[in-house]
A and B are shown apart, each in its own frame.
Chain A
Amino acid sequence: GAVVSQHPSWVICKSGTSVKIECRSLDFQATTMFWYRQFPKQSLMLMATSNEGSKATYEQGVEKDKFLINHASLTLSTLTVTSAHPEDSSFYICSATDRGGNTDTQYFGPGTRLTVL
């Protein structure tokens, strides 16, 4: 149980284009979904927290207009990197908490590798 998927697993795009990453909770309804960014050989940095039907809460220093988060349902959140640039290349990981279980435990997706050329 508590499986989180991400799509795509990797994406390569040209500078200036936008990329959408999906995060789905497959066997549970997610109270909250989180988006993290991880640079090579570094830890996870929380970008934003989203609740279904509400605006996302962004961490300090994260541009909300660049990283658009939509949490349209209890099982789906999307992160759109707008006008991507090479410095946006990174590993993006989402996580979710189970509405029907212990909401203090986050279950992580497998991550999406974004490369901007």
Chain B
Amino acid sequence: AQSVTQPDIHITVSEGASLELRCNYSYGATPYLFWYVQSPGQGLQLLLKYFSGDTLVQGIKGFEAEFKRSQSSFNLRKPSVHWSDAAEYFCAVGARGGGNKLTFGTGTQLKVEL
């Protein structure tokens, strides 16, 4: 069975600083990988996804993520954080041919200090 670990429950960064949110997955083959963002009381917005090909994936709002098979990781990065980036971030893994089911990590709460 697939699983996702987001080791950091909370992260605080200063506005303008760089950001990296960690995500490790467990899956027997190459998975589909996603990052979603959730603002308070809202649904999830897709930031980016990795299916195959280039392991560095660009997403919306200036985010990017890199798939590293050797480390089973899919960390999310942003070079300069904006106050509006404060939210909950979820990493998710989907099984190829697995009926589109997603397994979510526990999330990382990002706080941005002005």
Contacts and interface: CB of A to CB of B under 8 A. Distances in A.
Given A44-B90, A49-B99, A97-B100, A108 B45 contact: yes
B101 A103 contact: no
Kindly state the interface size class of chain A when it binds its partner. Answer: 20 to 34
Interface in B37-71: 41-46, 49, 51
B102 interface: yes
B106 A111 contact: no
Contacts of B100: 32, 34, 49, 97, 103-104, 106
Q: Quick one: which of A91, A104, A105 has the most chain B CB within 10 A?
A: A104
A106 B45 contact: no
A104 B94 contact: yes
Q: Quick one: which of A32, A43, A93, A111 has the most chain B CB within 10 A?
A: A43
Nearest to A97: B100
Interface in A4-34: 4, 6, 32, 34
A93 B46 CA distance: 14
A67 interface: no
Contacts of A97: 100
Contacts of A93: 43-44
A116 interface: no
Interface in B65-114: 90, 94, 96, 99-102, 104-107, 109
A104 B30 CA distance: 14
Interface of B: 32, 34, 36, 41-46, 49, 51, 90, 94, 96, 99-102, 104-107, 109
7 contacts: A44-B44, A104-B94, A105-B46, A108-B46, A109-B43, A110-B42, A113-B41
Interface of A: 4, 6, 32, 34, 41-44, 46, 49, 91, 93, 95, 97, 102-111, 113
